[in-house]
Amino acid sequence: MAAVPALIAAWVVFYPLFYNIWTSLHVNKLSVDDGLWVGLKNYIQLAQFGDLLGTLGRTLVWTVGCLVFQALIGFVIALALDRPGRGIGFVRTLCLSPWVMPGIVIAGVWSTIYNPIGGLANGLLGALGLPGHDWLGDPKTALPALILVNVWKGFSFWMLMIGAGLKGISSDLYEAAAIDGATYLKRVRYIVIPGLSNILVLTTVLAFIWTFNYADLSYAMTHGGPGTSTPIIAFNIYKLSFVYNRFDQGAALSVISFLLMAVAIGFYASASRRRH
């Protein structure tokens, strides 16, 4: 009986994965040919006609851009709030509000901010005497605009995790460093960052998984446009499967996505383990 939970877990985890791989090797597009073995044909078609390299490049820019700025902002705010004082709890709660908001709500709010006619972003530019801009309609600014929105949404998670990690660093270390004349930046470099190493690894892995697969903003704010400037890999999986009914190619892209995440997480975990 003890093996029953393990069998259930294996079924829940591995059956969808292997079925997805099986689907990627067969025809599955709501046609009379469904179930026909095609081997790697779906993968080859993705490489030849599916803008696979472009999709992977955009996904890399999206993921790295979001993670870097989320981490920096979350780290700075966590340090700033790591002190007693009136109103600290209120500010911390206020900073957490973007993280708990549904993605579709955030998309609606920021679509209004980016609105080229009467939006807050162009209103601020106008107040500075600068011309307005169609942020989501310009291929050069659409992806950076989405990255900014996701940074606003996701920095709270970093702030929360780093703030919790700061509580575990002994105050004796700060006092000893202060006695030795260490500046604040040196205390951050030699005490805070090493003390947060495990928290930073965990937070990076979780944030990477969520960001890599987060297609809500691309779907709700730009629908993958303009042109091919904003569709990341998760959005294209949705589009292939549920817009074009190419479940086989959607499954193939899902397998590629899974392998990329597995390699990235494994590499990061291995590098982190060697460092310690």
Q: Encode 113-128 in three state secondary structure.
A: HHCCCCCHHHHHHHHC
Total residue count of the chain as it appears in this document: 276
Residue 111 covered by a domain? no
8 A C-beta contact, residue 75 and residue 158: yes
**Domains identified in the chain, total number:** 1
Instruction: For residue 98, tell me if it sits in a domain.
Output: yes
Q: Which pLDDT value is given to residue 14? A: 85
Condensed to tens digits (0 to 9), the pLDDT of residues 179-205 reads 888 888 999 999 999 999 889 988 998
pLDDT at 84: 81
Residue 61 vs residues 24, 124, 201, 229: alpha-carbon distances, Å: 26, 27, 20, 11
Could you tell me the residue range of the domain that residue 227 belongs to? 56-104+135-275
Evaluate whether residue 121 is within a structural domain.
Answer: no
pLDDT in the model for residue 245: 95
CB atoms within 10 A of CB 161: 20
In a domain, 237, yes or no: yes
Answer whether 73's CB lies under 8 Å from 151's CB.
yes
Tell whether 182 is covered by a domain: yes
The answer as to whether 117 is a domain residue is: no
Cβ neighbours around 38 below 10 Å, total? 16
pLDDT band at 276 (very low <50, low <70, confident <90, very high): low
CATH of the domain at 90: 1.10.3720.10
Note the pLDDT tens digit of each residue in 231-270.
999 999 999 999 999 999 999 999 999 999 888 888 777 7
Q: Would 45 be classed as within a structural domain?
A: no
SS3 label, residue 21: helix
Whether the per-residue pLDDT at 1 is higher than 70: the answer is no
Higher pLDDT, 272 or 80: 80
| pLDDT averaged over every residue in the chain | 91
* Each residue's pLDDT tens digit, 31-77: 999 999 999 999 999 999 888 999 999 999 999 999 999 999 999 99
Q: What beta strand segments (E) does the chain contain?
A: none
Distance separating alpha carbons of residues 269 and 260, to the nearest angstrom: 14
Domain annotation covers residue 205: yes
pTM: 0.92
d(CA 139, CA 54): 14
The string of pLDDT tens digits covering residues 100-159 is: 999 999 999 999 999 999 899 999 999 999 999 999 999 999 999 999 999 999 999 999
